Structure 1
Amino acid sequence: MPALLTADVSPAERHARRSPRDWAVDVAAFLIAIVFGILGFVEVVQVDGFTWLRIVDLAVGASACVALWWRRRWPVHLAVIMTVAGLFSPATSGALVVMIFTVAVHRRFPVVAGIAAANILGAALYFRIYPSPDMSWPASMVFIALFTVAIVAWGMFVRARRQLVISLRERARQAESEAHLRVEQARHRERERIAREMHDVLAHRLSLLSVHANALEYRPDAPPEDLARVSGVIRESAHQALQDLREVIGVLRTPAQRADGAGQPALEELTSLVTESTQAGMDVTVVDTRTDEGDPPPLVDRCAYRLIQEGLTNARKHAPGTAVTISLGGGPGEGLRVSVHNAPLRRHVADGSIPGAGTGLVGLRERVDLAGGLLSHRSLPDGGFTLSAELPWPR
């Protein structure tokens, strides 16, 4: 019965596109209205007989039943009209019951309460004009009031259930949208991670290649021994760059390694990094004043290594031939202090200098932020440059 009398939340749209279920509901509502209307009509005819007023009653009742076709579009308007018609037309009672239920399904409680109260008052006047042969006027009013309240409660229950279903569907759609958004964000973060790893690894190696290639370009008359040595360094650097690239791709493809950072360099490889830079002609000095109380957390350790690597790469690009000082300090409970300082450039950089994309410091800042540290970089008054970070190192 509830399914047969329900109406959709969007009446205008459902009226324009009536589904097979809507047809079944409308037919059921029409039949219910006819049954209730005939019962009311027969009861009055048994008391007053069949007069010309009953012919009008039948016509009004039939019109009310046909009007149920538009009950979804104009529920309140039709309910008001049928309430007025019900004052003298018992044949309208069935259609009026359907309209009260429809209003309860589609409108808020104040409107529903107004329609219900109007019908109860109308019924009070009707039973004064046409008393029931089986019940007294007070008993008739109690029955009508309880029946109306039951119809309204039924309709409000259907309305609440529909709103709950709509809310759950909306939450499901929202959850699905959020899931898609999280997937897109994860993809974006992965792309950024790949770009950052590629920059950190390849920029250092390729800058070494560029330095040695420049040496060959500007010293074509160098002794064969020097040319062979530089060519060997270039070959070794290229091989190492390919190896680093394979390691980075392997780390990015393996979830377990992505989680624990396996395969990524740390400060224990600082000596190798400094040696490579020294072989490329850089003057690098390491000042390590850390307390000898173990290693910092892995995330901080890798972040410090990447900062030093980025500092050396930038010095090689923008200040070739200058002295570079790497400083490490701090300890557990104090934090880890890392800085890379290059002296001012004393000569003009050739046009064939190593190009830069300008994204290294951006990616490095993101690394430091993720590690919970603070990155700073500044040009000094004498023309030098300092890149430094304060990283957490708990006890």
Structure 2
Amino acid sequence: MTRAGPEFRWLLPSAVADPELPGDRARPRRTVRDWAVDLCAFLGAALIGMLAADAMHSTPGYSDTVMALDQLVGALACCAVWLRRRWPVGLAVVLVLVSLGAPVASGAVLVALFSLAVHRPFKPVVLAVSSLAVVTSVFQPVLRPDPTTSLLTNAIAGTVFILLVTAWGMLVRSRRQLVLALRERATRAETEAALRAENAQRLAREAIAREMHDVLAHRLTLLSVHAGALEFRPDAPPAEVARAAGIIRDSSHEALQDLRQIIGVLRSPGEGADDRPQPTLATLDALVAESRAAGMKVVLDRRIPDAADVPVATGRNAYRIAQEALTNARKHAPGAEVTVTVTGRPGEGLAVEVRNPAPVGAVPEVPGSGQGLIGLTERATLAGGRLCHGRAPDGSFAVEAWLPWPS
């Protein structure tokens, strides 16, 4: 038999999943509620004991010594009720046995049985002690007969009272178990909700990190290319140097703005993404123009009549794919002509291809992490599309992506 996992414990009966409830064991210090409940239990036991003592006094045949002894035993039994939290089982067993010869302890017995049913599971403790109490209630009238009532009546009355207080205690315990299970379930639900929120936050931060890589890689590559051009051509005309410096300045400013907005989102993930409009396929012309201004030779072949018809998410993914491919072409094939082809229609999907021939001559080393194409593949896959990249036999390099475009 396998052990139940923690996620199913709240479905099991408390006698199996949690045999002891909070409060089953005596607290180091009684609370105000404990004092009030224990006082009521003591008064209830004393009241029943006084009624039993009065009935015994009215019965002839008992000496004053026996009466005094009964009263002493009854008082001690009522005082012992204050120990019911610390030793519920032992107290109940002792009082049941004492009541066999001292009917004035019957009130304390009922209180002890009720407390036992509240603080211990039914099987085997409560069942065994209650059965012992029923047996003693049957034999008690034989040892201490009451002439006013028959033995059968006394036995039935004692059994009924024992069953009633035991059932009442079990009902209280069941209610406490239900409250405890509901509380545990609510706590677990709150924990799971917090974990789901944390997971959603983590996914959002990962998406932001991907966006950061795509955007900053494009900006910083411009900086690297133009800074390298200034380094390798110190004798360039002043106009060309000024133009390259302006592009470096603008790219640095835009990269800094992007970084600030992304860091702001990371610091306050619950406040939403940045307020700047996200790129779409309609902004692909601006990306190509920016690359041309940086000195690249880019040919845009867009065979879509209206870029606004493309869904926003699909257009943004196509933009990011083209942006990263142009960034890679600028780094690894400077001076080569890059062709960007965008085709598709609703229901057939959107295809994006970025192709550049093999570079001519030596290529300056530009550091890179190699994660850009991996990120593009992941982006296309998450969008429900696909992406492949590689070098052709003629030395050219191509990035081909297909994205779903619902009809």
> Do 1:333 and 1:393's aligned partners in 2 also have CA atoms closer than 8 Å?
yes
> Do 1:44 and 1:130's aligned partners in 2 also have CA atoms closer than 8 Å?
no
Match of 2:94 in 1: 81
Aligned Cα RMSD in Å? Answer: 3.6
Q: Paired residues, what number? A: 385
What SS does the corresponding residue of 1:338 show, helix, strand or coil? strand
Structure 2: distance between partners of 1:13 and 1:294 = 71
What SS does the corresponding residue of 1:328 show, helix, strand or coil? strand
1:212 aligns with 2:223: no
1:141 aligns with 2:144: no
Match of 1:308 in 2: 322
Q: CA deviation at 1:302?
A: 0.6
Q: CA deviation at 1:93?
A: 1.1
Q: Deviations over 1:264-292 (max 9, x none)?
A: 11111222222322343434444545687
Q: Which moved more, 1:278-287 or 1:238-247?
A: 238-247
Match of 1:4 in 2: none
> Do 1:247 and 1:263's aligned partners in 2 also have CA atoms closer than 8 Å?
no
Structure 1: distance between partners of 2:178 and 2:93 = 28
Q: CA deviation at 1:377?
A: 4.8
What SS does the corresponding residue of 2:242 show, helix, strand or coil? helix
TM-score normalised over the length of structure 1: 0.81
What SS does the corresponding residue of 1:340 show, helix, strand or coil? strand
Query: What fraction of aligned residue pairs are identical, expressed as a percent?
Result: 48
1:72 aligns with 2:85: yes
Q: CA deviation at 1:218?
A: 0.5
What SS does the corresponding residue of 2:287 show, helix, strand or coil? helix
**1:1-150 map, 5 Å:** 9-11=21-23, 14-47=26-59, 48-50=61-63, 52-54=65-67, 56-111=69-124, 112-150=126-164
> Which consecutive unaligned segments of at least 5 residues does structure 1 have?
1-7
> Do 1:291 and 1:331's aligned partners in 2 also have CA atoms closer than 8 Å?
no
Residues 117 and 268 of structure 1: is their aligned pair in 2 closer, same or farther, counting only changes over 3 Å? same
Q: Deviations over 1:50-103 (max 9, x none)?
A: 365555544544443333333223322322222222211213211111111112
> Which consecutive unaligned segments of at least 5 residues does structure 2 have?
1-19
Structure 2: distance between partners of 1:376 and 1:162 = 62
1:164 aligns with 2:147: no
TM-score normalised over the length of structure 2: 0.79
Q: CA deviation at 1:199?
A: 2.6
Q: CA deviation at 1:307?
A: 1.4
> Do 2:304 and 2:345's aligned partners in 1 also have CA atoms closer than 8 Å?
yes
- Selected match of 2:188 from 174, 179, 183: 174
1:152 aligns with 2:166: yes
What SS does the corresponding residue of 2:352 show, helix, strand or coil? strand
> Do 1:288 and 1:328's aligned partners in 2 also have CA atoms closer than 8 Å?
yes
Q: Deviations over 1:95-134 (max 9, x none)?
A: 1111111122122333434433332222111123333344
1:275 aligns with 2:325: no
Q: Which moved more, 1:167-176 or 1:337-346?
A: 337-346
Structure 2: distance between partners of 1:359 and 1:386 = 17
- Selected match of 1:372 from 384, 391, 396: 384
